Copies of this chain bind each other. A is one copy, B any other.
Amino acid sequence: MARIECVAMILAGGQGSRLGVLTNEVAKPAVPFGGKYRIIDFPLTNCSHSGISTVGVLTQYQPLDLNTYIGNGGPWDLDRNNGGVYVLPPYVSMSENKWYKGTANAIYHNIQFIEKFNPKYVLVLSGDHIYKMDYRKMIDFHKEKEATATIAVMSVPWEEASRFGIMDADEDGKIIEFHEKPENPISNQASMGIYIFDWENLKIVLEEDEKDENSSKDFGKDIIPKMLSNKMPMYAYRFQGYWKDVGTVHSLWEANMDIIADPPLFNLNDSNWRIYSRNPIKPPHYISNDAVITNSCVTEGCNIFGDVDHCVISDGVTIEKGAKVRDSVIFPNVHISSDAVLEKVVVGEGTVIGKGAEIGLESKDDNPYASHLCTNDIVLINGNIKIPDGAKIYKNSMVRTFDIGGGDRT
């Protein structure tokens, strides 16, 4: 078997609990984004365009949807004879029977998988970031610097720096210090959670770390500091461009809005870097005589009879006559009935909004659906539920199931 230069491992295991009801039924990487994509499309597309055709997707929560979504990898051009894309859940080994403990532990448990391809480099990625990046350039940088590990970094506002892993590097990019979520950040160069390792060295460190009982088995918290203290040459690769962690309801909503800004803050319409996805088999969308549609994006299988402004509308959505939808993100196959009014709402897949329902009303004090997961006036509606005709839902709510009498606090 020909040797594979670089294997990518996508960490898609997180439960994504900060996304609330959106990750009840699907793993975070399978959450819809941008009208016709899923979050996992972005790292998979980046791999495909970067010529990395061997990809492991490490998952444990709700792997079924992710498994059937990824399928044979064909949509991302990853249905290769040697390599291709594999979904890797935990398995029963002869000696133990456990779930992945941390990000590094997930890779540790798949050493055998990586060894099969005998790669020189391993690229570790996160399954919940939205960005376009040519990993080839980063690999070239890694080779040029003869690094053991290379970490992609970007400038973040100083006030946010303490939420990230922060790097201090010399002029050449060599990392001198690294601090995971420091209280007093020494730089504003934040790790993007994208690592390239020499496989040979990484394997040794993973095996050591596995034996360390005090380790939380995490790349940021354990592996990187260990490599640094072992004096392995590590470099920071500066990335310039759009990058967003969509781990919260607000950041997910915001990232969607970024693609419909004028001009877009994140441009998906790039013929040299098409975002691949498993396309739904649906006809072009229909805009009726009565519809008004502005500042929005709409995709296949939609039927728009209402009034839509500044929205991201996913495939198969119907918006009936008289409905008004603004600043919202509508997931696939949602049905919004006539005269409903939605403002700043994220509606989960397949939900039906009843006639004349009003969602996103000015807050009132005793909002039964208030949720700390929904901030910045956003309302999040669960998938596959029915919001009754005339229902009223206030800002900053999360609706798991609608109950005329009240709601569920989270």
Contact = CB atoms under 8 A, between A and B. Distances in A.
Interface of A: 1, 24, 60-64, 67-68, 71-74, 79, 81, 84, 86, 88-94, 97, 99, 110, 112-113, 116, 281
A86 B67 contact: yes
B64 A91 contact: yes
B88 A92 contact: no
Provide the main secondary structure of the chain A interface: loop
A25 to B, nearest CB: 9
Nearest to A116: B68
Contacts of A110: 64
Contacts of A72: 71-74, 79, 84
Nearest to A62: B91
A265 B392 CA distance: 73
Contacts of A91: 60-64, 89
A24 B112 CA distance: 14
A74 B79 contact: yes
A33 to B, nearest CB: 21
Contacts of A281: 1
Contact of A64 (B67, B97, B99, B113): B113
Nearest to A92: B60
A71 B117 CA distance: 14
A140 B89 CA distance: 37
Contacts of A62: 91, 93
A79 B81 CA distance: 12
A79 to B, nearest CB: 5
11 contacts: A24-B94, A60-B92, A61-B91, A62-B93, A64-B88, A64-B112, A67-B88, A68-B86, A68-B116, A71-B72, A72-B84
A68 B113 contact: yes
Contacts of A90: 89
Nearest to A280: B1
